[in-house]
Each structure stands twice: as C-alpha cells, then as structure tokens.
Amino acid sequence: MTAAMATPPNGKPLSNSLLATSKTRIILLTALLTTWLLASLLPSYKQSVKNLAQKKYAAAIGHFPALKVDWHPRVDSDVQFNSSKVALLIEGRPIPHLVPQLLHMISVVPPDWRFKFIGTNKSVMSVSRSFATQYQALNGKLDLVVLPRPWKVDSKEDVYRLLTDLRFYNDYLSEVEWMLKFESDSIMCANSGDTLDDWLHYDWAGAPRSTNDRFAGNGGLSLRRISTVKRILGFQSRYNDTEPEDEWFGKRITVLPGAKVASGTEENHFSVEDTWFEKPMGYHIRDMGNSLADDVWKDPEKRKANFDYCPELAMIMPMKLERERCEGDDKHGNIPPQDADSKPKGKGAV
C-alpha cells in the first residue's frame, strides 16, 4: 500500500512554500549585510570623498577669469588732483544757488583743480545737503570748511581780513601756488575759448575797471599766485576797516619787482565787471546784480550778447521775463515821460 504525499491547506506543494520562505530570508539577510558593510566603510571614505570634492571645486574655479572688486577704494586726492591749484569760494550766507554754481564751476575749471568752500555752519550745511556735493567731497575734489576762531566770514570785512592774513595761507593753503578766487556773484563761461591754465603765467589777473587800467585785478573773479601774495604779506599788513583786499593788493603788486599783472590794455581779458569786453573767461556781477555797470549791461545789444555767450549768467543774476518789462521801457533802463495828449482821459472827458 502506497502512502499519499501530504498537501498544505492552500493546495500548493509544501516544497514550494519552503523554497519561497528561504528566498525571502536570503534577500533580507543580504540587505542587512550590505547595510552593515556600507555603515562600516563610510567613515573611512569620508575624508577621501571630501578631498575629491575640494579638488573638483578648485579645478572648476581655475577655469574662471580672475576678478577683484574693491568696494571701499582708498581715495588719494594728491594723486587725482594737483595740490598746487585751488579754486576758493568764501560765502557765509546759505544762498540757494551755491550748489549749482559750485557744480558748474567744477565742470568748467580744468579737472586737476581742487575746490575749497569756506563758510559758516549754515552755509556749509546748506551746501553739504546735496548728493552731488557729497560725491565731490568724498572724491577729494571739494573741501567744505568752517574756520575756527579768530577767523569768521560773516561780513565782507571779515573776508578782507582773512585774505590779508598770512596765517590763513600757511595753515589752509600751504601747498597752493595758484588760487582762483570767485564769489557767489561770479561765474565762468563754458563757451570761453580759453582755459584757466592759460593764465598761470600771471601773478594776478582779474577784471579791469577801465580800458587803460594798469591793474586788471578786481577780486570777485580773479587768479592769484599765492607765493606772490605771501611775499607782500611778509612785509605789509592791512589796517582793519580800510579798503577792500583786492584794491589793497593791487597797489602793492603793481610795484612789486618781477610780478606780472594783467592790465586793461591787453587783448584778452580774464573777466568782466565794470568795462565791457567781448567773450571774457567769466563775469563778476557786483552785489548780485544790484550794482550793474552801465558799460556792460545798459545797452540792450551788449546785454543780449552777454547772455548769448554766457547763458550761465542767469544762475547768479535776478531775472525777469521780457513780458514783465514796464510799459514804455526803452530797454536802456529809462521810461520816457508821457505827453499830456497821450495820457488816458478820465471819466467824462470829451
């Protein structure tokens, strides 16, 4: 009698079930062994992987061009600009046009010149608010200065005393040889065919008071050689509350041996103030236009020629529109008296 083979309840042979169970155990065991092997080997390869990554990174960086950015460059004004040339503006009042005037002068004067603005706390603060002047100051082009006592710049006499004090030149302009001195009512013209450097062979140059003036040196817009100024101040002193500083210097520099001074008889003229000349380097408008010289401004044709050549004059002068001119104005500053017949008749007149 033959024994029958046992059959599991699911109907599959028992050998197949045992084989499936063995495969599952083998797979699980292999997975556990692989995990253990990787876990044991990873710490030993960690440094190798890190070194390989650094090597690949360094090789990639080597293919990029070298680039260096200095976000905070060190400004050396002695290299950028000529320390022997300074344009000086002294103004104690916070006048609205000071900023545009300064920026215009910076654009017209040769680029190697530095600028120095000396004022009161109010005027310096007014100028320093502008982003454009802040940039020029950070670039080393412009210095904004409030002088310590005993100096002050509240009045014209204060400025006269400052400019005739040898200590001022020794302390604040020690390296300067040429100084362009301009005021809040003076301007240089961008249309000029001359440059400021064309006049450096003079010891003093400014506006003449007449066509035969032997000293063309009105100080409102003038070029001065500081070494010559120091020579004069070395043996002469100005009395307080006397004549303006430019007149005081003029009487002495014209007789100083070896000094070269511009005169009214020359063909070219540094600036215009009292006497009209065609196409100067600049203009000085005395007292902001409240004391205009007739020879320069009364004639309408000369006046038009001045503004056509130097439109920047409108920056420093009080201006009115042509339609605001008074009725009957002859454009020479005169209003002729009206005849009796030309006067308008009152009510009830026949």
pLDDT at 171: 96
Flag whether pLDDT at 4 surpasses 50: no
pLDDT at 2: 44
Is the link from the previous residue into 150 a cis peptide, with omega within 30 of 0? yes
Residue 255 C-alpha from the chain's centroid: 38
Query: Mean pLDDT, to the nearest integer, of 21-45?
Result: 73
Average pLDDT, the chain: 85
Give pLDDT, residue 306.
Answer: 96
HSE, CB side, 13 Å, CA atoms: give it for residue 139: 16
| pTM (2 d.p.) | 0.73
End-to-end Cα distance, the chain: 167
Residue, of 133 and 343, whose pLDDT is higher:
133
Give the model's confidence band at 188: pLDDT under 50 very low, under 70 low, under 90 confident, else very high: very high
> What's the half-sphere exposure (Cβ side, CA atoms, 13 Å) at 202?
23
Helix, coil or strand: residue 84: coil
Average pLDDT for residues 282-294, to the nearest whole number? Answer: 89
Confidence (pLDDT) at 303: 92
150-171 tens-digit pLDDT: 899 999 999 999 999 999 999 9
How confident is the model over 273-280, as a mean pLDDT? 92
Delineate the domains of the chain, giving CATH numbers in brackets.
77-318 (3.90.550)
181 strand-pairing partners: 88, 222
pLDDT > 70? residue 342: no
Q: In this model, does residue 132 exceed pLDDT 70?
A: yes
Q: What is the pLDDT of residues 204-259, one digit of tens each?
A: 999 998 888 888 889 999 999 999 999 999 999 999 999 999 999 999 999 999 99
Strands 85-90 and 178-182, by their bridges, are parallel
pLDDT recorded at residue 347: 42
Q: Would you state the pLDDT for residue 187?
A: 97
